[in-house]
Structure 1
Amino acid sequence: MSSSNSVTVHILDKEYSIICPPEERSNLVGAARYLDGKMREIRSSGKVIGADRIAVMAALNITHELLHRQERPEGASAGTTREQVRDLLERVDQALSDDPVSKKD
């Protein structure tokens, strides 16, 4: 792919140049905006600091949203997966709130 297929996105005050097909450009930009918004929400909550921790929490939240919205034909196993994600999110939130390094001073 040529550099003309490069898209620059901004996520949490950092610039990323990503190569993607022209037909996927708007999807990529939209995904980057969505991720940036989620990461800013988490950062502004004051519960989590550090870009890597914020990114993990955003990824978990987005995954949780996806699984919650997604209807699976398996029925019960989809519900089990959602419950596992919810439990994981709660445990991560608890661990981060108990971690003095992740709290703002």
Structure 2
Amino acid sequence: MSTETTIDINVMGQKFRIHCAEDEREGLLLAVDFLNKKMQEIKSGGKIVGTERITIAAALNITHELLNMHAGKGFDIKEFRRRIGLIESKLDDALLESDHQL
């Protein structure tokens, strides 16, 4: 079993503290970098304004790409939902912690 660790991340200028398994740290940091790049692309396009709208657009784009990539390759929707649930839980925790710091 992997040990837990805490990392500080920055998404579009907002700081979050995320708890994750030590063996998932590198993957999470890669995901943060990927998300920031997607969000910056959307922001630079100038058609969508506001961090919340940019975040939703990035999430939709990434999800669409993922589903297209796995189409026809035995995509495991249960595993996908489980992982999305874990990510949502970590983000909810980070948002709550961020709100309490304000």
Which residue matches 1:33? 33
**If you compute each CA radius of gyration, which structure gives the higher value, 1 or 2?**
1
Which residue matches 1:63? 63
Higher strand share: 2
Following TM superposition, by how much is the alpha carbon of 1:71 offset from its aligned partner in structure 2, in angstroms?
3.2
Identical counterparts, % of pairs: 38
Unaligned runs of 5+ in 1: 79-105
- The residue type paired with residue 12 of structure 1 is M
TM-score relative to the length of structure 1: 0.63
Which residue matches 1:95? none
Give the total of aligned pairs: 72
Unaligned runs of 5+ in 2: 76-102
Identify which of structures 1 and 2 has the higher relative contact order when contacts are C-alpha pairs closer than 8 Å and 6+ apart: 2
- The residue type paired with residue 55 of structure 1 is T
Which residue matches 1:98? none
Separation in 1 of the partners of 2:73 and 2:13?
40
Separation in 2 of the partners of 1:8 and 1:73?
35
- The residue type paired with residue 19 of structure 1 is H
Once the two structures are superposed, residues 28-62 of structure 1 have per-residue CA deviations (whole angstroms, 9 ceiling, x without a partner) of: 00001100110011011100111110011000100
Following TM superposition, by how much is the alpha carbon of 1:73 offset from its aligned partner in structure 2, in angstroms?
5.3
Which residue matches 1:7? 7
Structure 1 residue runs of 4+, over 2 Å off? 71-74
TM-score relative to the length of structure 2: 0.65
**RMSD, matched Cα:** 1.8
Separation in 2 of the partners of 1:51 and 1:21?
28
